[in-house]
């Protein structure tokens, strides 16, 4: 490939990015805190096939992933978040890790780029033009960019999953293979009953000019992902697992319960071969030759790189997304980690240019006198802390350990003190203490409160019915909360003077929050059709209103200071193949905002990761 052209590629795209940056207002209204579930470290590494000579690939490394070499072995293409935590852009470097430069920098998510065999065209995934993940092409010599999927006849049904992932060029450059969840349905785990979405994928091919689109591999009830071509261009290899397993594939504690196999098909005849057996979770397959396939084993005792030949496996934890080099002598991969955790107030990329986005732990809430309360979950203790809005004077006001909880569950984040909330006068903090998530079906939780100085801790409900996620009324006299039991579910209101409890709803309702003016309560409801939506209701039980209606799931709604509703939604779909994520639910990946009447819905994030629990630290009007 011509080095001069590649060194100067995408000048038009870079100029457009510079123009957008110049439009950013100098003054900002304030800060928005939010939580992000994603690795805190991701570095590109290279090693020999036996794992020897492992080294960092880039001389100036930041947070990078999905690295691939150009077919001639001269250039590295990779995704980097060096413009900001959560902002995925495409960069390139020389094969020795020097000469790092941007290729595609927009405020959309741009990821998973691969270069055509002739070195001219970049295929990549982008959320530009509608916030859904689609395959795009960029001519590196002219800078011309065009959308390949999600347009014309190449799109799925409206309102349902319709995203396209992991493009791969055929050896002759005449075809691009990819995976897609088009024409599938939004399906929760546990056979549709759960909150987190599973994913069904099929394998497709298309010509770079947009013609010849067709499905080459599919299996009802299964997920087929990460296609790669054989060197002779006759076969496509991919991983295959049940749709249900795409949930367990994100959870390290599901070792052996979410198996997958490496499968290939003849591109023209459909002849199918299963190349592996067993219960390992196998991902990212790639032909090293027409007869040998390398792949990743994720989680478990065999985690690392393995082969369908007699080549020895390389066992190593937390390496991800391997790409074997064109000469077959080396492999590029990511090394990821979740610790050290993202620190409080770490700057994140801000899609709303009026606000500085910053990271915070879970369930943040601001008191009327300007203190933030939150659950410190990411450090593995799930106790209640308070601090100033700038992060100073941080102190613990309630310790969850020593309260009779299973400490192992606490360390796993399945138990502790969740969703603390301020009383209007700022003197009390109420929260739920007990076991959460799936533990609620067999364990208990109760409402508690504590004074802001850490004294006066008292239990407010007797624990006979699983209770949690409280929120104070505007006058401070009542708490709305969620109950969960064999015969009783829904929202309840506790009078703090009389300690009497009244029924507000009897549906599968959760995460209630009283509006700043005290007139309405927002909450998440699981409907009879299995969909989760945002509702509001008056405190007397009248005026039930459904604010979201999309067949995907919406939840974790909170009020902004000006009476709008922010929530986590999934209507724009996954940003990557679900099975490739680590320790994330991802189903509700983006933060949205809307008026209380459901109008003027818009996105506040556009990242690859799971974003939730926003909190404005200043009035967003």
- Edge to edge, the sheet with strand 545-546 lists 508-514, 521-526, 532-537, 545-546
Say whether pLDDT at 9 is over 90: no
The pLDDT-based confidence of 546 (bands split at 50, 70, 90) is very high
Contact of 210 with 152, CB cutoff 8 Å: yes
Question: What is the tens place of the pLDDT at every residue in 358-371?
Answer: 999 999 999 999 99
Return the pLDDT at 109. 98
Say whether pLDDT at 11 is over 50: no
> Residue 550 pairs with which residues in a beta bridge?
none
Contact of 591 with 610, CB cutoff 8 Å: no
Return the pLDDT at 74. 95
How many CB atoms lie under 10 A from the CB of residue 212? 12
First to last CA, the chain: 52
Query: CA torsion 419→423→429→435, rounded to 10°?
Result: -30
Across 15-24, 220-229, 504-513, least confident range: 15-24
Nearest to 612, CA basis, from 577, 567, 573, 571: 567
DSSP 364-377: EEE-TTS-EEEEET
Nearest to 268, CA basis, from 320, 207, 205: 205
Return the pLDDT at 277. 98
Say whether pLDDT at 437 is over 90: no
Q: Please list the helix, strand and coil fractions of the chain in percent, rounded to the nearest 5, in that order.
A: 5, 40, 50
Radius of gyration of the chain (CA): 25
Give the integer Cα–Cα distance in Å for 164 and 109: 13
Q: Model-level pTM greater than 0.85?
A: yes
Q: Helix, strand, or coil here: 585? A: coil
The pLDDT-based confidence of 585 (bands split at 50, 70, 90) is low
Return the pLDDT at 52. 95
Give the integer Cα–Cα distance in Å for 267 and 1: 28
Return the pLDDT at 5. 42
Mean pLDDT of the chain: 92
Is residue 340 reached through a cis peptide bond, with omega within 30 degrees of 0 on the bond before it? yes
- Edge to edge, the sheet with strand 362-366 lists 362-366, 372-376, 383-387, 395-398
The pLDDT-based confidence of 13 (bands split at 50, 70, 90) is very low
The pLDDT-based confidence of 20 (bands split at 50, 70, 90) is very low
The pLDDT-based confidence of 12 (bands split at 50, 70, 90) is very low
Return the pLDDT at 23. 35
- Residue bearing tokens 């549709």: 192
The pLDDT-based confidence of 195 (bands split at 50, 70, 90) is confident
Give the integer Cα–Cα distance in Å for 417 and 408: 15
The mean pLDDT of 502-516, rounded to a whole number, is 96
The pLDDT-based confidence of 588 (bands split at 50, 70, 90) is low
Q: What distances in angstroms separate CA 105 from CA 116, 150, 204, one per listed residue?
A: 20, 21, 27
Give the integer Cα–Cα distance in Å for 163 and 186: 12
DSSP 168-193: EE-TTSS-EEEEE-TT----BTTTTT
Q: Helix, strand, or coil here: 15? A: helix
Q: What distances in angstroms separate CA 506 from CA 466, 484, 485, 488, 580, one per listed residue?
A: 14, 10, 11, 7, 37
Nearest to 478, CA basis, from 449, 509, 440, 444: 449
Give the integer Cα–Cα distance in Å for 322 and 293: 12
> E strands within 89-201?
89-94, 101-104, 110-115, 121-126, 134-139, 145-147, 164-169, 176-180
- Edge to edge, the sheet with strand 554-559 lists 554-559, 565-569, 590-594, 602-603
Q: What distances in angstroms separate CA 113 from CA 104, 125, 140, 364, one per listed residue?
A: 10, 7, 12, 36
Counts for the chain of helices (H) and strands (E), in that order = 4, 47
Q: What distances in angstroms separate CA 291 from CA 82, 98, 286, one per listed residue?
A: 38, 34, 11
Question: 284 in the Ramachandran plot: left (φ > 0), alpha (ψ -120 to 50) or beta?
Answer: left
Give the integer Cα–Cα distance in Å for 506 and 544: 12
Across 362-376, 401-415, 531-545, 594-608, least confident range: 401-415
């Amino acid at each position: 490939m011509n080095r001069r052209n590649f060194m100067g590629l995408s000048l038009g795209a870079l100029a457009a990015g510079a123009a957008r940056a110049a439009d950013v207002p100098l003054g900002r209204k304030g800060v928005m805190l939010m939580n992000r579930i994603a690795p805190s470290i991701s570095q590109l590494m290279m090693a020999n096939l036996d794992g020897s000579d492992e080294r960092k690939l880039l001389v100036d490394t930041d947070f990078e992933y999905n690295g691939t070499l150009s077919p001639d072995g001269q250039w590295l293409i990779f995704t980097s978040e060096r413009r900001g935590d959560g902002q995925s852009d495409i960069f390139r470097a020389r094969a020795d890790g020097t000469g790092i430069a941007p290729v595609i920098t927009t405020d959309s998510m741009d990821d998973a780029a691969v270069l055509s065999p002739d070195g001219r065209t970049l295929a990549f995934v982008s959320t530009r033009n509608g916030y859904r993940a689609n395959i795009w092409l960029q001519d590196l010599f002219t800078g011309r960019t065009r959308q390949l999927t999600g347009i014309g006849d190449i799109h799925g049904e409206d309102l349902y999953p319709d995203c396209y992932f992991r493009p791969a060029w055929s050896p002759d450059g005449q075809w691009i293979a990819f995976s897609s969840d088009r024409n599938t349905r939004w399906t929760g785990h546990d056979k549709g009953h759960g909150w987190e979405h599973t994913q069904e994928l099929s394998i497709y091919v298309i010509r770079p000019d947009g013609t010849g689109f067709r499905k080459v591999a599919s299996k009802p009830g299964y997920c087929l992902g990460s296609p790669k071509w054989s060197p002779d261009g006759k076969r496509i290899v991919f991983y295959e697992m049940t749709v249900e397993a795409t949930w367990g594939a994100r959870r390290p504690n599901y070792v052996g319960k979410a198996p997958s196999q490496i499968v290939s098909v003849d591109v023209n005849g459909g002849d199918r071969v299963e190349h592996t057996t067993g219960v390992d979770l196998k991902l990212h397959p790639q032909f090293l030759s027409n007869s040998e396939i390398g792949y990743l084993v994720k989680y478990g005792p065999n985690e690392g790189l393995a082969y369908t030949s007699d080549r020895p496996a390389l066992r190593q934890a937390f390496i991800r997304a391997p790409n074997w080099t064109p000469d077959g002598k080396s492999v590029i991969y990511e090394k990821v980690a979740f610790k050290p955790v993202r620190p409080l107030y770490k700057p994140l990329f801000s899609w709303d240019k009026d606000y500085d986005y910053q990271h915070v732990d879970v369930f943040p809430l601001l008191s009327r006198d300007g203190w933030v309360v939150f659950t410190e979950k990411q450090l593995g203790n799930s106790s209640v802390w308070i601090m100033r809005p700038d992060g100073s004077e941080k102190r613990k006001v309630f310790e969850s350990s020593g309260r009779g909880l299973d400490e192992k569950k606490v360390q796993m984040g399945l138990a502790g003190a969740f969703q603390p909330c301020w009383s209007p006068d700022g003197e009390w903090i109420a929260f739920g203490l007990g076991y959460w998530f799936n533990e609620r079906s067999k364990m208990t939780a109760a409402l508690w409160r504590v004074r802001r100085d850490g004294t006066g801790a008292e239990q407010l409900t007797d624990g006979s019915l699983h209770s949690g996620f409280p929120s104070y009324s505007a006058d401070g006299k009542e708490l709305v909360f969620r109950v969960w039991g064999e015969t009783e579910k829904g929202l309840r209101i506790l009078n703090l003077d009389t300690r009497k409890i009244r029924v507000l709803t009897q549906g599968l309702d959760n995460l209630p929050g009283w509006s700043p003016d005290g007139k309405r309560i927002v909450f998440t409801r699981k409907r009879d059709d299995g969909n989760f939506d945002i509702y509001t209701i008056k405190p007397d039980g009248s005026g039930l209103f459904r604010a979201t209606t999309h067949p995907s799931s919406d939840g974790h709604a909170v009020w902004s200071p000006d009476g709008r509703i922010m929530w986590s939604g999934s209507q724009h779909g996954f940003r990557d193949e679900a099975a490739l994520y680590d320790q994330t639910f991802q189903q509700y990946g983006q933060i949205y905002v809307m008026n209380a009447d459901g109008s003027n819905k818009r996105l506040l994030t556009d990242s690859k990761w799971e974003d939730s629990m926003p909190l404005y630290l200043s009035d967003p009007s």
